[in-house]
Amino acid sequence: MTSGPQPTTRLLRLAVAQYEPRIGDMRHNLDSAVRWTKAAAEAGARLAILPELATSGYAFESVEEAERLAELPGDGGATAALAEVCADAGMHVVVGVDERDPRGGRHNSAAVLGPEGVVAVYRKLHLFHDEQSWFAPGDELPVVDLPWGRLGMIVCFDIWFPEPARALALAGAEVIACPTNWVASFKRTVYDERGWCQGDYMAVARAAENGAVVACADRIGEERGLRFLGASIIVDADGWPVAGPAAADAEALLVADVDLAGVARARQRTPRNNLLGDRRGAYPVRTVDGVSAPADRAPAGASRQP
Ligand code: ACM
């Protein structure tokens, strides 16, 4: 155990790549993933984040297609090529993969790759709409110790649920990487007047409530009539955007220096308040009858005047 003053800054440069994978075009997808990871390395990033299902594309039309485009992380394909880039650059990358499960079936996964190959794989917990036809959900949230700190992952729709990001923060994650394919479907309003989509606000919420850096790598373009929203974003541990939102329909590399020493400071909101420590456990809810007449509202067991 080391003693003495803790460093007041611990900078991590990270990059989020927003581009257009193509359904079924494995060559294009591999080349794009490598090109954007190299661009992140050239920008000095030690962590690059690529979109959800970047190796395969998103809008499958059959189980057979999802299976044909699946890969086992590290066993050739885009993930092996990305590990080589990581070895050359001394960095790590998080990439969305149509993951073939050796026990059968597939997962919508985020693989962490580094100089030695596959470090960890997170399998998306909350499958969105048709994804439920192609994938099985995961059942755990890995946290990964990397040379600069602790990383957790969620994927796209997961960000609409506070629980996974909270669980990762409680497990010490300082950075939450979110490969994503935000879509316009089922929403009346897709962007606000600033060009933010709802995923951007979710990223701010997850960062602010947990005191964690949240970095979302979205894609652009359209597949089989499904439009993707771009607007990738990096949010710091105080809950403020430090890069992005990127444009809705243009490629982008967002690069930011985040101070991981700021994570502990962000969680300690005041000398007397800690975002993780002040939680109240069960949060019991009581239903109050505000409709029936006051005389009928007395709680069970309460004495009533005759
Ligand atoms: C999504 O979860 N890809 C919308």
3-state secondary structure labels for all residues of 229-288:
CCCCEEECCCCCEEECCCCCCCCEEEEEEEECHHHHHHHEEECCEECCCCCCCCCCCCCC
Strand ranges inside the chain, DSSP E: 11-18, 47-49, 92-100, 106-114, 117-123, 143-146, 149-153, 175-179, 213-217, 222-223, 226-227, 233-235, 241-243, 252-259, 268-270, 273-274
Helices (H) and strands (E) counted in the chain, each on its own, are 7, 16
Query: Contact 98/89 with Cβ under 8 angstroms?
Result: no
Q: What are residue 43's phi and psi, to 5 degrees?
A: -80, 0
pLDDT digits (tens, 9 = 90+) for 235-264: 999 999 999 999 999 999 999 999 999 999
Ligand 1 pocket, 128 CB below 6 A? Answer: yes
From 39-53, 105-119, 179-193, the region with the lowest mean pLDDT: 179-193
The residue annotated as part of the active site, out of 20, 52, 71, 131, is 52
Give the tokens for residue 15: 């990059």
Q: Answer yes or no: is the C-beta of 174 below 6 A from any ligand 1 atom.
A: no
Residue 3 has pLDDT above 60, yes or no: no
| CB-ligand 1 contact for 99 (6 Å cutoff) | no
Q: Catalytic annotation on 61?
A: no
CB-ligand 1 contact for 110 (6 Å cutoff): no
Cβ–Cβ under 8 Å, residues 153 and 121:
no
286 CA to centre of ligand 1 in angstroms:
34
| Nearest CA-CA partner of 255 in 263, 244, 265 | 244
165 CA distance to ligand 1 centroid (A)? Answer: 16
Which of the following is catalytic: 20, 71, 86, 124? 124
Ligand 1 atom closest to Cα of residue 183: 4
Burial readout 129-142 (b: 16 or more C-beta within 10 A, e: otherwise) = eebeebbbebeebb
156 is known as an active-site residue:
yes
Of 20, 131, 156, 216, the active-site residue reads 156
3-state SS assignment for residue 206: helix
Q: Is 157 in the pocket of ligand 1 (CB under 6 A)?
A: yes
Clarify whether 124 is annotated catalytic. yes
- The protein residue whose alpha carbon is closest to atom 3 in ligand 1 is 181
pLDDT, mean over the chain: 94
Q: What is the pLDDT of residue 1?
A: 44
Tell me what the mean pLDDT of segment 90-94 comes to: 98
Q: Does ligand 1 have an atom closer than 6 angstroms to the CB of 134?
A: no
pLDDT over threshold 50, residue 81: yes
